Amino acid sequence: MADTKMSKNTSPNEHSTKGAYVHAGEEYTRDTNYIEDRIVADPSAFADDAERDYWPVEANRYRLVAARACPWANRTLIARRLLGLEDVLSVGLPGPTHDIRSWTFDLDEGGVDPVLGIERLQEAYFARFPDYPRGITVPAIVDIESGAVVTNNFPQITEDFSKEWKQFHREGAPDLWPAELEDEMRDVMKRIYTEINNGVYRCGFAGSQETYEAAFERLWTALDWVEERLSTRRYLMGDHITEADIRLFTTLVRFDAVYYSHFKCGRQTLASMPNLWGYARDLFQTPGFGDTVDFQQIKEHYYIVHEDINPTQIVPAGPDLSGWLTPHGREALGGSPFDEAAGATAPGPVRESEKVTAGHNPMYPA
C-alpha cells in the first residue's frame, strides 16, 4: 500500500477525543487533516495518485462508525439513508461521550461493537496505523475483515456515497450532487463550512474576548446571508435537497439545543429566524433527516465532554423540542424535497435496529 497522507499534528480534534479545547488568548483552529483514502467504484482509475489508497466499493465489506451526537458523523447517517445504502454498508453507533482515548461502543451489549468486536474505535485506527498520532474521529469507515480504519475524511465520504456507490443506491435515490449545480454548490458549502459549521466551534472554543467577538460576527454574518438566501428558494440550491442541505442541517438542528448557549452563539435563537427555522423544520420532517437525530445524545456529548466550557457537566433539561414538528410553510416557495420528475422518492421507514431512542426526538415519544 502507498503511504497514506495524514498529518503528524497531535493536537486534538474536537469531535474525536476528550481534552482541553480552549487555549487562553488563542483563536480556535480546527485540524482538518484526515486519512485521505477513498472507497471508489474503480480504483484503477486513480492509479496515478500516489498520495492515498483507493479501496473498491463492495457490499458488506465495510462498516460505517458514526456517533449520533457528532454533526460531522450525522451527515453520513443522513446520506446513507437518503441513498439507501443500509443493505450494503452497516453502521456502528458509539455512545455520546468518550474519554481521552476514543469513542466507545457503550450502547452495545457488553460495550462491544457486534460486527467489529471492539470496545473502542481507537482499536480500528491502531489496526491500520499502530502509532497513529492524532485524534480518533467519527465518522470512520472500517474494513470489517482486517478491522482496520479506511478513512475518516467526512466530506469526501458523503460525496463518494453519492458518486462512487451508485451501483448500490436504492431505486428512487435523489441526486445530491446535480452536475449543473456542482460549481456553485461547492462555493456555498465552503462558506457554510468555514463560517457556520466550524463557526459555532470558533465561538465556543475562543480563548479571548477579542477572538470570540470576531468569531461571533463572522458566524452571524453567514447566518444572515443564509436567512436571506432562503427567502426566495425552498432549499439552498433551489427546488430540491442536495448535499449542501445535509451539511447545513446538522449544525442548525443542534443550534438551539447546544450552540446558542453552550458555544455562546446566542444573538438569537434559530426559532426566531423565520426562513432558517422554517427551512430547518422542513428538512427535519423529511425522511432521512430528522429521523437520524438524537437530541439527548447531542446534549450529553457537548455538555459532558467539554469540561473546560462546562465544568459541572450538567446537561440542560430543555429546550422544548415539540416545535420541530409544527408546520413549516415552505411549500409556498414551490419545489419538493425529492425531484419527482427525475424519479426521486423518499426513503422508506427506518430500520427497527436503527431507530432513535424513544424520548430523544419528538418523532419518537417516550
**Segment-wise mean pLDDT, segments of 10 residues, the chain, 366 residues:** 35 42 75 92 96 97 98 98 98 94 95 98 98 94 98 98 98 98 98 98 97 98 98 98 98 98 97 98 98 98 95 96 97 98 98 96 95
User: Which of helix, strand or coil describes residue 1?
Assistant: coil
The grid cell for 86 is 443500509
Name the nearest CA neighbour of 18 among 95, 113, 92, 78. Answer: 95
At 238, is the secondary structure helix, strand, or coil? strand
Residue 336 sits in the same domain as residue 191: yes
Catalytic (active site) residue 201: yes
Which of 28, 54, 201, 259 is catalytic? The answer is 201
Q: What is the pLDDT at residue 7?
A: 34
pLDDT at 30: 82
Residues 120 and 232 in one domain: no
Q: Are residues 143 and 188 in the same domain?
A: no
Report the number of distinct structural domains present in the chain.
2
The pLDDT of residue 6: 41
pLDDT of residue 299: 98
pTM strictly above 0.85: yes
Which H/E stretch holds residue 80? helix 71-83
Among 168, 199, 229, give the residue marking a domain's end: 168
Which parts of the chain are beta strand (E)? 38-40, 54-56, 62-65, 90-92, 140-143, 148-151
9 in a structural domain: no
Taking the CA atoms of the chain, what radius of gyration do you get in angstroms?
Answer: 20
For residues 144 and 211, state if they share a domain.
no
Q: For residue 301, is it within any domain?
A: yes
Cα–Cα distance for residue pair 266/204, rounded to 1 Å: 11
Q: Which of 34, 54, 62, 70 is catalytic?
A: 70
For residue 362, is it within any domain?
A: no
> What's the confidence (pLDDT) of residue 15?
44
Q: Is 149 helix (H, G, I), strand (E, B) or coil?
A: strand
76 Cβ neighbours under 8 A, 6+ residues apart: 64, 66, 139, 154, 157, 158, 161
Residue showing cell 425522511? 287
Binding positions for glutathione: 103
Please give the Cα distance from 85 to 169 (Å, whole number).
6
137 plus 253 within the same structural domain: no
**265 given a catalytic annotation:** no
For strands 62-65 and 90-92, give the pairing: parallel
CB 151 within 8 A of CB 143: no
Phi, psi torsion values for 64, nearest 5 degrees: -85, 125
- Report d(CA 190, CA 125) in Å as an integer: 28
Neighbouring residues of 166: CB distance < 8 A, sequence distance ≥ 6 = 41
Find the domain containing 292 and state its range: 181-354
> Considering the domain boundaries, does residue 320 fall inside one?
yes
Residues that constitute the known binding site: 103
Final residue belonging to a domain, choices 112, 147, 168: 168
Query: In Å, how far are 243, 287, 295 from 78, measured between CA atoms?
Result: 10, 9, 15
HSE of 46 in the Cβ direction (CA atoms, 13 Å)? 17
Q: Are residues 114 and 228 in the same domain?
A: no
Let me know if residue 147 belongs to a domain.
yes
Helices 243-254 and 71-83 pack at an angle, to 10 degrees, of: 140
What is the torsional sign of CA 150, 189, 252, 202? positive
113 in a structural domain: yes
| Exposure string for 127-146, b = 16+ CB within 10 A, e = fewer | bbeeebebbbbbbbbbbeee
Instruction: Judge if 163 and 279 occupy the same domain.
Output: no
In-domain check, residue 243: yes
Residue 300 lies inside a defined structural domain of this protein: yes
Q: What is the structure's pLDDT at 17?
A: 40
